[in-house]
Amino acid sequence: MGVTPLPQTRTDRAWLPRRLLVTRSARDFAHGRGIVARAAASGVEIVELAGDRLTLGLPDDPRRAYAEAKATLAVVVAPPSRRRLQPIAPSADWRVDLAEGCPAHCSYCYLAGSLKGPPITRVYANLDEILDGLPVYLGQGTITSRNEARAHEGTTFEASCYTDPLAIEPLTGSLSTAIAWFGRWRADAQLRFTTKFADVTPLLGLDHAGRTRMRASINPRAFTRFEGGTSPVAARLAALGRMAQAGYPVGLTIAPIIAAEGWEAAYAALIEDAAAALAGVPGLDLTVELITHRYSPGSKAVLEGWYPGSALDMGTGNRVTKRTKFGSEKQVYDTATMRALRTFFERRIGEALPAARLLYWT
């Protein structure tokens, strides 16, 4: 569908949907009712659905349908099939979903390739059931059992695969609940999330016991023209510094790494900014994850439909086709570009952030 891109703005304000849909079953859960109450108190239109089917009522016009979907939060119940965890290498042992979808507008969004249908955000009302289902996965992962550098983290659970949990935290409170739950749980388990948002104030005073690692998902200012509705990069780095000061283990997710003109100077400045934001943190526990830009034919088609005016390069120059172990294809940078990027990042990070542990390059 041909959709004119939304203004590529950065924001420090909490996201508020224009309307909230809540299913009948979601209203049976206190967490679901709490989300509805907070949204209503903020003036959000509340639509109580008679059943459990999400009736979206989106307009036919693709531009308006996209905008309305992105401005909609649905409170639903995660069925047992959704609560069955999937392995999620190389980030973590397991993917745990507190929600699905994200209100921001990034023209490289990886969700375009993973989630189907209109881009509404669904948050799960049965958070307690989701969390209570985690113990069975303890010790079952492959990342921390096979990777010596990460073995001390215990079994790791990634909450940012299908959403940005901090983007919706002011209304949902799901991330705070999960952090506190892991804080009460056991030392050989870790919750992880990565975010392009910056409002960490509600997280600072939680009893996290050092069992949640927050990573800031960052790109140079010059490349944030490919994002919309996210927090400014400087605010994300400042938020990460506050979390580190509050005793959380932290990390940088530099993603997606884009080999556009001027990348070297732009990323050098970004790494310096990150080092400055984390300087002087006592006992800093810092990791770095490096993820190069990639896309599949399916995600490219969706993203070009949502953001036809984006300057993000999804052409064939300096790209090669990589086949995944599941048989699907994705376009990644060619060998020479990958080598130049990797050499640069490993050197620069080693110089500017010598305490950082590099978790993976992909």
Which residues of the chain form contacts with ligand SF4 (CB under 6 A)? Answer: 102, 104, 106, 109, 111, 164, 196, 227, 230
Q: CA 251 to CA 125: how far, in whole Å?
A: 29
**Least separation in angstroms between CB 163 and ligand SF4:** 7
CA contacts within 13 A on the Cβ side of 47 = 17
**Nearer to ligand SF4 by C-beta: 109 or 218?**
109
Residue 240 beta carbon to ligand SF4: minimum distance, rounded to whole angstroms: 15
What is d(CA 43, CA 46) in angstroms, rounded to the nearest whole number? 9
Beta carbon nearer to ligand SF4, 39 or 102: 102
Sign of CA dihedral 308, 309, 312, 314: positive
Q: State the minimum distance, in angstroms, from the CB of residue 102 to ligand SF4.
A: 3
Q: Are strands 45-48 and 72-76 parallel, antiparallel or unpaired?
A: unpaired
Which two structure tokens, joined as six digits, stand for 238?
Answer: 């400042």
Cβ distance to ligand SF4 smaller for residue 3 or 102 = 102
Query: Smallest distance, Å, CB 227 to ligand SF4?
Result: 6
To the nearest 10°, report the CA torsion of 142, 143, 146, 152: -120
DSSP conformational letter for 61: S
* Residue spans of alpha helices (H) in 90-223: 111-114, 127-132, 143-146, 169-172, 174-184, 201-204
Residue 188 near residue 154, CB atoms below 8 Å: yes
Shortest distance (Å) from residue 314 CB to ligand SF4: 15
User: Which of residues 100 and 153 has its CB atom nearest to ligand SF4 in the complex?
Assistant: 100
Q: Which is nearer to ligand SF4, 120 or 189 (CB)?
A: 120
Rounded to the nearest whole angstrom, what is the least distance from the CB of residue 195 to ligand SF4 in the complex? 8
Closest distance of CB 15 from ligand SF4, Å: 10
Query: Shortest gap between Cβ of 291 and ligand SF4 (angstroms)?
Result: 11
Using an 8 Å Cβ cutoff, are 76 and 26 in contact? yes
Q: How far apart are CA 169 and CA 200, in angstroms?
A: 9
On the question of a cis peptide bond just before residue 256, with omega within 30 degrees of 0, the verdict is yes
Nearer to ligand SF4, 166 or 338 (CB): 166
Judged by beta carbon, residue 91 or residue 155, the one nearer ligand SF4 is: 91
**Which of residues 34 and 229 has its CB atom nearest to ligand SF4 in the complex?**
229
Contacts made by residues 138-144, CB under 8 angstroms, sequence distance 24+: 138/186, 138/188, 138/189, 139/188, 140/93, 140/94, 141/87, 141/92, 141/93, 141/94, 142/87, 142/89, 142/93, 143/89, 143/90, 143/91, 143/92, 143/93, 144/93
Distance set, CA 124 to CA 46, 48, 73, 76, 174 (Å): 16, 15, 11, 5, 9
Q: How far apart are CA 223 and CA 260, in angstroms?
A: 9
The distance of closest approach from Cβ of residue 139 to ligand SF4 in the complex, given in angstroms and rounded to an integer, is 30
For ligand SF4, give the closer residue by CB, 104 or 257.
104
Q: Count Cα atoms within 13 angstroms, Cβ side, for 33.
A: 5
